[in-house]
């Protein structure tokens, strides 16, 4: 989710977008005009190697648009954007249907104050859960330098709390609040639990709660960043990304950054566990940044983003892997940034964010494709 490492990865990937802007891969020509009248629009944004995509379409046009997640009925998306054409100076939460938003301003769900992130539909599709810093101030919180001690970092704003609001952005109420960082909330398909990341125990750990915010339980307890978690299709398991500093030097560096409200997210691997944190298993062991995991509809594979094939770490693509770590398969093939994949609950579509065919600029847009197994 965007607050987690999106800003960092945009910094990295934007360099690769600029570098590769004159040299497009494959057969994509970027000629899709954004006409969203049909789910069968011309499939011109897909590279030939992307055999799992069909009728790939662009849904947003301009700014940084990310973390687009389906409603439980698979008919709508909630996402975050900082599109300056909408008068935004930092991320706010919006919704759209699967036709996209070419030429229109989508409805804003957040209140326009502070910075927001990590939105998700609640059961029933009539409310949105998301994180916001607005109680810490109306203005966007300051963004720290991208480099601290020569390392890329992203901020953990201690003013982030988790809220629930209706589709008009009204009747907003707190869900998880308190000192420190609370964000990255997603909801179980079973409709009974919410998982989120919090510093309430002194480290960035996963927590779960009932759908009404009661019965808080800590799920992870190992030093390092644990975040971006999603429940399995049956609600019985979790997948997430984690950093695990091992050496004394890495541990000290992690703790020092955390004390400054910062995290270095350049070394992450994918983990799964039962929803209570038991039976934890590390899925990937491939190095660099492996993140934004989500469950394949079968519940037997994980789709995620990674830069492990990029020599300088600037290129991110989408991969699929079995739960035992075998069968690693590259799914997307853009030279810039493909990430935040999510399957629709009916298993028909995959939505993701990408820099592809943006004219050599830095815009990140939301794309949707029919999924072909």
Indicate which CATH number applies to the domain containing 207: 2.120.10.30
Entry pTM = 0.90
What pLDDT, on a 0 to 100 scale, did the predictor assign at position 359?
Answer: 85
Tally of structural domains, the chain? 1
What pLDDT, on a 0 to 100 scale, did the predictor assign at position 21?
Answer: 25
DSSP state of 100: -
**HSE of 98, CA atoms in CB hemisphere, 13 A:** 20
What pLDDT, on a 0 to 100 scale, did the predictor assign at position 10?
Answer: 52
What pLDDT, on a 0 to 100 scale, did the predictor assign at position 5?
Answer: 47
Domain around 105: 2-371
What pLDDT, on a 0 to 100 scale, did the predictor assign at position 115?
Answer: 97
Counting beta carbons within 10 angstroms of the beta carbon of residue 308, is it exposed (0 to 12), middle (13 to 18) or buried (19 or more)?
middle
Contacts of 3 (CB under 8 A, 6+ apart): 91, 115, 117, 118, 131, 154, 155, 157, 160, 183, 184
Series of mean pLDDT values for 10-residue runs along the chain (373 residues): 47 37 30 39 85 97 96 98 95 97 94 97 98 96 82 92 98 96 98 98 98 97 97 98 96 95 94 98 97 98 97 92 98 96 98 93 95 97
pLDDT, mean over the chain:
89
What pLDDT, on a 0 to 100 scale, did the predictor assign at position 221?
Answer: 97
């Amino acid at each position: 989710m965007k607050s987690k490492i999106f800003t960092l990865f945009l910094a990295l990937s934007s360099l690769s977008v600029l570098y590769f802007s004159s040299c497009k891969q494959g057969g994509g020509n970027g000629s899709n005009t954004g006409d969203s009248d049909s789910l069968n629009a011309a499939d011109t944004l897909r590279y030939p190697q992307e055999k799992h995509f069909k009728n790939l379409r662009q849904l947003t046009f301009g700014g940084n648009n990310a973390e687009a997640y389906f409603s439980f009925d698979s008919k709508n998306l909630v996402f975050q954007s900082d599109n300056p054409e909408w008068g935004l100076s930092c991320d706010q939460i919006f919704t759209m249907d699967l036709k996209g938003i070419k030429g229109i301003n989508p409805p804003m769900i957040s209140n326009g104050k502070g910075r927001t992130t990590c939105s998700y539909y609640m059961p029933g599709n009539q409310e949105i859960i998301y994180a916001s810093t607005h109680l810490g101030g109306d203005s966007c919180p300051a963004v720290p330098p991208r480099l601290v001690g020569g390392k890329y970092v992203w901020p953990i704003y201690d003013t982030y709390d988790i809220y629930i609001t209706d589709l008009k952005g009204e009747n907003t109420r707190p869900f998880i609040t308190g000192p420190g960082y609370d964000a990255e909330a997603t909801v179980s398909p079973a409709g009974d639990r919410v998982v989120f990341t919090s510093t309430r125990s002194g480290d960035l750990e996963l927590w779960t709660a009932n759908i009404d915010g009661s019965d808080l339980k800590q799920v992870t307890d190992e030093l390092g960043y644990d975040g971006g978690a999603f429940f399995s299709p049956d609600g019985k398991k979790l997948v997430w990304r984690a950093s695990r500093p091992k050496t004394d030097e890495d541990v000290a560096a992690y703790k020092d950054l955390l004390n400054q409200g910062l995290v270095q997210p350049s070394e992450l691997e994918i983990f799964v566990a039962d929803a209570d944190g038991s039976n934890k298993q590390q899925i990937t062991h491939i190095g660099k940044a492996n993140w934004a995991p989500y469950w394949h509809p079968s519940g037997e594979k994980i789709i995620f983003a990674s830069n492990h094939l990029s020599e300088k770490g600037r290129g991110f693509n989408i991969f699929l892997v079995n739960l035992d770590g075998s069968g690693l398969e590259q799914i997307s093939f853009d030279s810039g940034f493909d990430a935040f994949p999510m399957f629709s609950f009916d298993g028909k579509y995959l939505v993701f964010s990408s820099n592809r065919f943006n004219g050599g600029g830095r815009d990140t847009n939301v794309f949707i494709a029919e999924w072909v197994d």
